[in-house]
Every structure is written in C-alpha cells, then in structure tokens.
Chain A
Amino acid sequence: MSIQSEDVLKIAHLARLGIEPEQVESYASDLSNIMVLVEQMSQVDTSDIEPMAHPLDQSQRLRTDVVLESNQRDALQKNAPAIEDGLFLVPRVID
C-alpha cells in the first residue's frame, strides 16, 4: 500500500500538524516505506498467536478511590495564555 499526497494531508489535518506543501511528497514516500515494512510483517503467520494489547506482560495496578489532589489552579494556570474567572480562555469554538 502506498501513501498518496492526499493521505498525508488528511493525516496531517487530523493530527493538527502544519506541513509545508514542498514537504508533502517526501512524507508520502517515507510513510509508504513504513507501510512496506508493515506489509512485510503481515506475511508472518500469526494465526495461533494471541494479539497483545501491551508489550509488558502485566495487568493494570489499581488506585484506591480517595481524593489526593488539592486545588492547584493558580499554579496550573500560570502558563495559560488567557484566563478569566478561573476559566481557561481559548479561541471561540462553535459546534
């Protein structure tokens, strides 16, 4: 499977990445190479192997349900570009 320029633009848009027009071709070719590698791996017969969700062969540790955090709003909002009434302000979003 080869990646076309449109695919690169779509992926970049979904990931909110800005790509210069002159870079599109080279990304398409790099990503296509990766896909070649993936296809190569797909050749291996894995029919009797259970898919794994995580490389670590362990299960999730759980946390007791207690409130441990206190209000750190002032500190956490120090690097926000705009705040008001305790809210983060962002460019207007319309649904």
Chain B
Amino acid sequence: MGFLNIDNVTKSYGSVEVLHRVDIAVEEGEFLVLVGPSGCGKSTLLNMIAGLEDITTGEISIKGQVMNGVHPSKRNIAMVFQSYALYPNMTVGQNITFGLEMHGVAKPERDKAMADVARLLQIEQLLDRKPGQLSGGQRQRVAMGRALVRDPDVFLFDEPLSNLDAKLRVDMRTEIKKLHQKLGTTIVYVTHDQIEAMTLSTRIAVMNGGYVQQLGTPKEIYDTPANIFVASFMGSPSMNLIPATIVDKDGAAHAEITDASGNAKHLRFSGGGLSGQDGRGIILGVRPESITDMEGADRKSTNIETITNTVGVTEPAGSDTFVTSQMSGRECIARMRADAEVRPGATIEFAVNMDKALVFDPQTEERVV
C-alpha cells in the first residue's frame, strides 16, 4: 500500500473507456512522471487524482484514505496547471494566499506562510504585482508558490513547463528538481516531453492509448523498455528498430541484417538467450549512442560488432554528430563524436555495442531480450 494508491482505476465517457485498469502505488517522497503522447489519458488520470474528474471504477487513496467522491479541496493536494491559472484580478500575494483564505486560515498565519514561500522561490519583490505584469518564468514560480503554500500531501503538475521557451524550460526543470530534493514532497507530474520525464522522475509511467505501457525507474525504462512503443517513445533521437533474422553461426546466435547495398551482415548477440531459434524474424533495437565510429565505441562493452556501411546524411549537432545509414532498408541514426570525420556517401566502419542491443517480437511488439 503506497502513500498515493491508484488501484484498478478506469475512466469511461459513456461507453468509451479511455483509461484501462491503471494500478500505480506511489511511495512518500516519490517523483512520479506520467508521460505519453497526447490523448494517452495521462491528464485524465491526473485530474482524477485531483478530483476534477470522476472515477468510473476502481479506487484512488491518499495516505490510506479513499478519495473517490471527495471534493478537490478536501484531498490536501495542490496542482500546478499548464496555463498557470493565476487569478488575473488578484496580486501575486493574494494569488498565493487565496487557498489558505478559503480554508479559513487567519491573516497573520497566511502572511507568514506567504513570506516563507516567497523567500523559497525568490519572488518577494513580485508580491504586489498582478499576474499580467509578470514574465512566463515568474508566473511559473507564482503558480508553484500557490501550490507550495498549502503544504499538501501530494503535488500535481500538469505539463507545467510546456508554455516556456526552450532555455527557461531547462532552468525551471532544474528548479523543480532542486525543490523536490529540498522538500522531499510526493509529486505526480504529467508531461509529453520524455526528457523532462527522464531528468525529473524517480519513477516513470509510460502511457499510450489509455494503458500504462511500463512503470519503472528512468534507467529501467530507458535500458529495458517493455515493448516497441516505450522503446521508440523514450530517448531522442529515438531507438533504431531494425528488422532482422536470427542466424546460428559458429555456435552463437547472430542477427542478420542488410547494409545499404543489400549485402547480408551478421552481428553476434552478447547473451546466450537466443540460441536455438535459427530463422526467427525479430526487430533489433539499438539506441543511436550504441552505434558509433570505432574510436568512439564503449570500452567497457564486452561485444563490439563492426559493420561496414555507406553513410547517408551527417547532422553535426555541436556536441555530437548524427550519422544516418541504411540497415535492412531502414534509416538508422548513429551518434558519433563531434569531430568524427565522416562524409556523406563514404563507406566507413560502424561499431555496434551489442551489449545494449534489444530484441523485440515483430508480432506482439514485446521485448524478448
């Protein structure tokens, strides 16, 4: 039984079920991120935790108390909205203390709580301004201040950073992480940005089509994705998914793929889990950073396979250079050092780190190895 328990929860609109049997137990102090493409049900789930949407079946409990049918203000939660939802007619100070006022907290205590939060978020000089006079980043801080001042059991964040520009988003991301480390509060955070999910969370629930596809730590999600959806959704650029056939050769299982010219190439699998399955069609999953030039290959890897192939396009990104090439008819991206000397059209040796390679079943799309 967790601190925040989502037990077998479903959500239907009429006869359409949009959220199917979600089971998540969140421990106290955890930072859970719900991530997925739009329409996957992540915001619906958050609104159900907040009490803004009804629960069709199942149970949500906080601190062991069932929250079904309990009014949002009685759940001891606070929420930061995507649009910040600051009351435009009130000053920053009034915005922050409105919730306390509604809960009947006396004025001196409200002012003290406001001062504490303002100091924590460094918005003391903004307290007398109206939201309309603030920049995006300042509004974001005020919205967080309004949530913090209530000292709730659970914080809910609904895509709080998606209205900020790219640089500010990275800054605020760090701020939120710092705040979580400092206060140790329980947070449920919704985003469609997989980098936010990876950097912020202690655990991630990847959602798609109303199902939780996988629930795990960022490392588990990244290194051992449960299926092709999770593998391709998490990570940027996304994982290369190469159709391949298992071939037994020299007493070990190999993945047979074709290069840009259509010649068969063999890559030996690191583990022994795939022996005796000669001829089975699979999808080989390799992250871009596991395909490099020879000098950039991971030295700790026990099994670097090389493949000679023609370079398609090079994309210098400053810190890295992304190199595309055709494998089994698919465009594959390799992540090379910034100063790797690669020219389009040249034939070079790619180093594939097979320790990190994953295998998916083409029919079920589940991970095999």
Please say whether chains A and B are actual partners in one complex.
Answer: no
